Amino acid sequence: MGVKTFFVVIVWSLTLYAQTDAAFNIQGCYKVDVSNRIFVTSAGDYDPDDIDHDTCADACAVLDYQYAALTMGRYCLCSDDTYSSSIVSTCDRTCSGDVSQECGGAESDTVLSIVLTRAAVQLNSTSDVFVVGQPRSLQPDVTGASVTTSFDYGDGSHATADDAVVTMNHVYAVPGQYVASIFAKNSYSSAFAGAQITAYMGITDVQMDCPEVVEPSTSFTCSITVTDGSDMTLSTNIGSSYHIGTPNTFSVGTVSQYALSTLQSDAVLSDTVWILPGQEFLDNGVIRSVEVNVDAIGTINFLILEPFCSGAGETYCLIDNQCTTSQCGYDSSMPTNPLYHTYCDSSTHVFCLSEHRCASKSDESTCDAEPDRYASSTGDASRASYRVRHVITKTATTTGYNYFEIPFADRTATAEIGDVLGYAVSTGTAIIRYETADTDEAVAFSLATSIPVAGTPYSSGFTAEAKRFHIRLTAIDPISVILEHVYPNIGTNNISATVNNTLDSAGITAESVVEVQIPILSE
């Protein structure tokens, strides 16, 4: 089966120059052949009455030429070619800006070989396709001497540190369009190039559920569920083709795929559970992949925890991320993202447009701002208790970045709105890297306790620390499509549905058999 793929890149670039001198060597003095001049391009931005070797070399380096020539004591010319070493002359004019230096003659040039050229970077179109879960690098053309580069792939992951490399692999966990960039620099200049790229996701499973038996001329429905894939098209033998798009795929947490100077790590001295309230799920989904950056290899138990209230008579309010003995103020039966209030309990609360939240009718005149959702001080106590919903156990086999894609058949871990991330490790196993959290950022909570199982509750013993651990989980909410159809006549009918996309033009097909029968009615 041949799969035709394509990759469209929109590129742009920018170059910035630093105020430093270009390095150069004096190549020598050469006679000018007026009938076939090698240096004919003026350096342009200089004062002929104040020219010297440094000024001329700088002016030509800015234009990205490899050679500079000074002639008649006051003129600066540039070229990418130079004279043969056998064509030697005498340079008897001093430079207008420095009488101690030679600047050619009436028919001779003093030639400088520029050692440090400006940094430049360009991204060209490529046939490479970025696929979710597969490492791939931008392919830039980088020029200049002693150039370092850094990459930013635009998906919220940290940019790479400056390094003398021109390719750097990256893994996208979520399909979609991204603005990726590369920054190149040396001691003379810096340059930037960007590209809008698309990360595709392959199709792994298509399920179809139809009734086994239907009546003639009676409408029935089949449901088609697609778990993985991006920018997909559905074709059936009972209707037209449909563009069904991409399942809702989202990530929670942060991770660096590269070595950063800001990353830290602590040895695991005892079995420890970490709860990360700031890494909160804002939608429902099935866990598809896990990413982590470790300083030591070993087993990690990734946790999905649900908040709950352990106090007598307390209710957990998702919107405020707090426990309360009074009403929460919003209609909990209505689905809502916890960061946005949409439905208020009209008997006790009103909607405050200025704060975009529900407020008690007693506060209607003030419409107070929403309280902070997370504890941001190491002196704060936990807002709620937590219960382990799922444990996902993986083994990091290499230090640094690790990516784990969970096979479709093994995707049993789910997350609901309001759940948070966590992890548990044992003494002598994996060590996860972290950064110091900002002062207004949610703190992490640790507990010295054994590795948990699903259902384990945590209500006390939290130690708050200003740490941002490099863990990221990606969840997906499958697409469901409902097809409606009518068969006018009795018989056996085969229904097929094929889902394809750019990565898989043949696609995956699901089939079902529907019997059309006339029911036997009793007299």
Place of tokens 């007299």: 523
Predicted TM-score (pTM) of this structure: 0.78
Per-residue pLDDT averaged across 429-452, rounded? 91
Q: Encode 140-162: b = buried (16+ Cβ within 10 Å), e = exposed.
A: bebbbbebbbbbbbbbebbbbee
CA distance 12 to 146: 23
CA distance 219 to 486: 5
Average pLDDT, the chain: 85
CB atoms within 10 A of CB 123: 21
Give all domains of the chain, ordered by start, each with its CATH number: 10-16+118-200 (2.60.40.10), 23-114 (no CATH), 206-247+478-516 (2.60.40.10), 250-309+379-476 (2.60.120)
What is the model's pLDDT at position 497?
96
What is the model's pLDDT at position 73?
96
Per-residue pLDDT averaged across 286-300, rounded? 96
What is the model's pLDDT at position 18?
45
Strands (E), 255-297: 272-280, 285-296
Tell me: pLDDT of 365 over 80.
Answer: no
pLDDT band per the 50, 70, 90 thresholds, residue 4: very low
CA distance 472 to 146: 35
pLDDT tens per residue across span 85-116: 777 888 999 999 999 999 999 999 999 998 86
Per-residue pLDDT averaged across 223-249, rounded? 94
H/E stretch holding 59 reads: helix 53-62
pLDDT tens per residue across span 14-26: 544 444 467 899 9
What is the model's pLDDT at position 71?
96
Per-residue pLDDT averaged across 185-205, rounded? 87
CA distance 106 to 68: 17
What is the model's pLDDT at position 98?
96
Tell me: pLDDT of 500 over 90.
Answer: yes
Tell me: pLDDT of 466 over 70.
Answer: yes
Place of tokens 């060209």: 124
pLDDT band per the 50, 70, 90 thresholds, residue 515: very high
